[in-house]
Structure 1
Amino acid sequence: MFEHFNTPEELFSYKLGSALTMERDSLEMLETLETTTPRVRLKELFNTHAAETRHQIENLERCFALLGEEINDFPSPTTKGLAKEGKASIAKTEPSIVDAVLLAGGLETERYEMAVYETLMINAKARGADEVLVLLKQNYDQEVAASEKLLKAAEMISSEGIAREIPPR
């Protein structure tokens, strides 16, 4: 649709569509992470964030409706690259330590998503799109929370031993 951006609104619409693709890519990655990890707690973490991601997709689709625009899912080359890197790393990793790779990939993706939402929120505010801003902030807050959970999980498995299953508490 856009070969050249002529207005801030066009750029915002493109970035919003790219964020939609980003979340769809992330949902696919989360499903892979959940099925790859042997740890029950990580399966639960990835599953919970997948449910949040489905809601984030709905929020982004609502943003388009609030703006009176058609839903567009523009490319998100960064998330495609992160997914490709993650799959390659998983394939090269001994199963007993794969959780370290999964958590690193999850953290990298969450941090990217946070940056995307920060930019979108700045632009929604500048546009005066307050209802859109609220939805974007909800998504951002969930990404921050997911990032914190992933960071804690990464710290836990590194301190307790990546190769050991952590018994449920």
Structure 2
Amino acid sequence: MLFDNGTSVDALEAQQAPLLRREEHFFSLGVTLTVPLDRRAGSGDVSASHALRRSSTPRPAVNRGVQSWTNEARLGASCGRVRASLHSVNDDDEGEDPLMSQTKLETPLDLLRFQLRTTMTMEEDSLEALGELSDAVPSREIKKLFQHHADETREQIENLRKVFELFEFPASTAGSPSTKGISKQARSLLERSVPALRDQIAVSCALGNEHYEISVYQSLILSADAQGAVDAVTLLTENLDQETHTSDELRKTLRSLVA
């Protein structure tokens, strides 16, 4: 069997077999779609528009592989639009809960809610990073320091959940690229360092993360206070005090390491 452009079924299957394929899971559609990554016209493939034109005319049944490809091409345009829409919201939001996305912030309360969501992700990222740092350092004392702050971080996450409840916001997350960047930098430095430097690197990176978290809580507290949310301010201040104390401990430890 030949298609309109003279391509045989066997030739088409041979062309398509090496192509990388990827499953895109669209929870909102309730289905799983398998979409080829490359269906450009003129690249040796049959174009999506040509496949659409072919598929509108009844033809003899072909094998399952070619039939599947034709169906994928038919869905390609709409799948691309859905995928582009998701990416436009979540490009920087690896921790984003799609069901809770705030695509537009219009009021100070909208902003406060979004900041709470990014703070939740920040603390979850920090908890994961503390475990990695604890595993990486040779010093038992520094391991204990990281493990202690991990326990505090769990308490901070619970405090944030209470703040969500006080504002009657559904607890959710949003992307925190800053903390992910700090963790990535720490991993990179630890991978290229000799064991003798790892205590210093881990403490230094943890100190940078604490400074970022302190600024986040200072901003959140001011926003919550402006809303007259006294109980929320109290909970957020507890988190800030813990971060400030940890920052002081890390700075003292780092001073002793570099002396």
TM-score by length of 1: 0.93
> In the comparison of the two structures, how many residue pairs are matched?
159
RCO higher in structure (CA 8 A, sep ≥6) = 1
> Which of 188, 201, 208 is the aligned partner of 1:108?
208
Structure with the larger helix share: 1
2:241 pairs with 1:141:
yes
The aligned counterpart of 2:250 is: 150
- Map 1:26-65; keep pairs closer than 5 Å: 26-65=126-165
Pick the structure with more strand per residue.
2
How big is each residue's C-alpha offset from its partner over 1:105-159, in whole Å with a ceiling of 9 and x where there is no partner? Answer: 0010000000000000000000011111001000000000000000000001111
* Corresponding residue to 1:129 among 229, 233, 239: 229
Alpha-carbon displacement from aligned partner over 1:4-24 (angstroms, at most 9, x marks no partner): 210000100000010000000
The answer to whether residue 14 in structure 2 is matched with residue 14 in structure 1 is no
Question: For 1:95 and 1:38, how far apart are their aligned partners in 2?
Answer: 7
> Which structure has the larger Rg?
2
| Alignment RMSD | 0.6
In structure 2, distance between residues paired with 1:15 and 1:69: 12
| Structure 1 residues 22-48: Cα deviation after superposition (integer angstroms, max 9, x where no partner) | 000000000011111111110110000
Deviation at 1:72, TM superposition (A): 1.3
Deviation at 1:60, TM superposition (A): 0.4
The Cα of 1:100 is off from its aligned counterpart by 1.1
TM-score of the superposed pair, with normalisation by structure 2? 0.61
Q: What is the aligned-residue identity percentage?
A: 36
> Which residues of structure 2 form unaligned runs of 5+?
1-100
Structure 1 residue runs of 5 or longer lacking an equivalent are 160-169
